[in-house]
Structure 1
């Protein structure tokens, strides 16, 4: 059931993008704004990695996989930790990043 829209795209009853393929940067910006985030290059690195990974595997990566793959973008000078990811996405870390990346809501519980 569709309850609302963001950037002209349908969201489901839990506020997640209803269709993975309907995501674009405008959707991400609108979702981030609703959550009080201003996206920078580090955010986009995580978001784009999540979308690519989900597109290839039909499931989100674990936070550990995210940190290994794009940790150098998140924390270029010191080893990246989950705390760094949660600093970027303070309302749930990987789960919030999955939401902004337009991944289906039922996949975000393990992320």
Structure 2
């Protein structure tokens, strides 16, 4: 575990760079993590982040990109079918890995990451 000062507090991260404790996450931390990656969170980002957190809280594992696309793809890409490329374009520095890290998940599930 590595302790890092971020969003005005000390937070523990695991060896993979993900938040060690799911419950330590909040919106300010997400904004700070995104800013560190040069990312400004939009409504679409928050839609994905909120879904990832809800799914993880219920299933205790991250969803696959296919699950994300089936569940909220229509919200992410309103005028065209949502694809994995749409999701990866929202999180350009690692796709699902980056999305899960910003959402405060201690791990990610993505075969291409």
Give the Cα separation in 1 of the matches to 2:103 and 2:53: 6
**Structure 1 contact 9–27 (Cα < 8 Å) conserved:** no
Name the structure 2 match of 1:81: 83
Provide the rounded CA distance (Å) in 2 between the counterparts of 1:49 and 1:62.
12
What's the RMSD between the two structures over aligned residues?
1.2
Matched length: 108
Match 1:94 to one of 87, 92, 96: 96
Where in structure 1 are there 5+ consecutive unaligned residues? none
Q: Give the counterpart of 1:22 among 8, 20, 24.
A: 24
Alignment correspondent of 2:35: 33
- TM-superposed deviation, 1:4: 1.2
How far residue 20 of structure 1 moved from its aligned partner, in angstroms, is 0.4
How does the TM-score come out when normalised to structure 2? 0.89
- TM superposition shift of 1:80: 0.3
- Residue 9 of structure 1: how far off its partner (Å): 4.1
Residue matched to 1:56: 58
Moved >4 Å (runs of 4+): none
**C-alpha separation between the residues in 2 aligned to 1:9 and 1:16?**
14
Q: In structure 2, how many angstroms separate the alpha carbons of the residues matched to 1:97 and 1:9?
A: 21
In 1, Cα distance between the equivalents of 2:59 and 2:3? 28
